[in-house]
Amino acid sequence: MNKEEKKALSSFLAIYTLSALVLIFIIAFLYYNRGIVTIQDQCSVQMRNASLVAQKELMRAEMDKIPYKFTPPKKTMRMGLFDSKGKVIFSNLKDNKIFFSNVAYKNNRHKYHVHKLQTPLLNVSYIVVETDEVASQKAKLLTLITSVIIASVVFILFIGFLLSKILLKPIKERVKKLNHFIRDSSHELNTPVSALMMSASSIKNAKEVNPRVLNHITVSAKLISQIYNTLSFVAFNEIDERYDEKFNLKELVEESVRFYDEIVKSKGNNIKCSLESTMVIMDKTRIQKVINNLISNALKYSFPRTTIEIILKNHTLCIINQGEGISEDDQEAIFKRFERRSKNEGGFGIGLDIVKTVCSEYNIEIKVESIPNQKTTFFLKFSDSF
C-alpha cells in the first residue's frame, strides 16, 4: 500500500468512525437517560411499597396488641421509624439525619422516601426508606453502555477497514492497469519515433533519398498518427461533438486500407478486399477509428506472410485474419479497457474498447468468431434502414 492509499484509507476510516461514533454516543446518551428514569421510577415504587408494608405491620401490631418486630426490607434497602419529633425508634439507616418535610429526596449516594402516617402507630409518625439501588443500577448501566460502545468501536473499525479495502480494490486495479498503459504507451511510441530519428539521420547524411528510408518514415508517421488518434479518442470522446452524415462505407474502408498499405507490406502481409457500396449515416471520424482499430488488430495478431480479408456485404463488415485466434473465455474480456490477450504484442488494450463504445453508440451489432491457431473474424452488422 503506497503513501496515497494509506492517506485515503486513514481519511476514510477517520470520517467513517467519527460519524459512527457521534451517532452511537447520541443513542447511548438517550438510552442512558431513559434508563436512569426507569431505574428511579422502579426504586420509587419499591420504596413506597416497603413503607406501606411497614405501615401494615405496625397497624397489625397495634390492633392485635402484640409487640412490633422491626423487619428491615430487602438487602438493597434500609428503613427507619421515627416519632413525631424525628426521634429514632427503629432504624438501620446509614444516615439518620432526615429531611422530614420532603416526601422524596436524594444525596450523592442514597435516595430517600419519607412516608408520614396520618395517625401515629405505636408512636411511629414517620417511616423512612433509604436505598442505594439507584447509584448501583446507574453504575451497572454505565458499565453496560461503555462495554457496548467499546465493542461497537472495534466492530465499526473492522467494518470500516473491510469496506475501505473493498472500495480501494477496483481503484488499485485501475491504477495498476494505468501504470501498464503508460509503460506500453512509452514502448509503442518509442518504436516509430526511433525509426523516424534514424531515417532522418540517414537522409541528412545521404546525397539522395532512398525509397526504403522514405517508406520507413511513412510507416512510422502513420503509426504515430494511429497512436495519437487512439489516445485522443480516449481523452476527448465524452466532450467531442458528433457530426453524423450520410456516406458510402465502402469508400471509408478503402481509405483505411490505403492508410495501412505500407504498414502491412512492412510486415510481409497483404490485404484482400471484397467491398460493395453501403450507405450509412454516422460520424465518419468515429467509424473510421473502428475500422482502423480492427485492421490494426488483424495485422498485429496475424501470422507472417498471410492475407487479411476485408468483406463488406449486406450491411455487414467482416475482417478476417489468420493467426493465433481468441479463446472463448477471452472473447468478452478483449472489449474491456486496458485488457490485452497477448503480452507479446504491442498495444494499449484500448482499441477494442473504442470499437465497442462506438458500436454501442450507433447500435452496431458486433460479433467475434475464432478458431485457435487458424483464423479470427470480426463481424460488424450495420443498420440497413437507409
367 and 253, same structural domain?
Answer: yes
Q: If you average pLDDT over residues 219-237, what whole number do you get?
A: 62
Please report the pLDDT score of residue 348 as a whole number. 46
Distance CA 20, CA 12 (A): 12
Q: Cα–Cα distances in Å, from 100 out to 27, 81, 115, 239?
A: 39, 12, 9, 85
- Final residue before a domain boundary, out of 115, 138, 161: 138
Are 130 and 110 in contact by the 8 Å Cβ rule? The answer is yes
Q: Is residue 201 part of a domain?
A: no
Q: Tens digit of pLDDT for each residue in 93-110?
A: 888 788 888 888 888 778
- Domain holding 352: CATH number? 3.30.565.10
Are 111 and 43 in contact by the 8 Å Cβ rule? The answer is yes
Smallest CA-to-CA distance from 90 within 49, 117, 125, 47 is with: 125
Q: Is residue 61 part of a domain?
A: yes
Q: Is residue 193 part of a domain?
A: no
Distance CA 110, CA 66 (A): 33
Q: Tens digit of pLDDT for each residue in 18-40?
A: 888 888 889 888 988 888 888 88
Q: Is the pLDDT of residue 80 over 70?
A: yes
User: Higher model confidence: residue 355 or residue 178?
Assistant: 355
372 and 253, same structural domain?
Answer: yes
Q: Is residue 93 part of a domain?
A: yes
247 and 134, same structural domain?
Answer: no
Q: Is residue 31 part of a domain?
A: yes
Instruction: Count structural domains, the chain.
Output: 2
Structural domain including 265 reads 242-381
For the chain, the distance separating the N- and C-terminal CA atoms, rounded to the nearest angstrom, is 55
Distance CA 22, CA 208 (A): 81
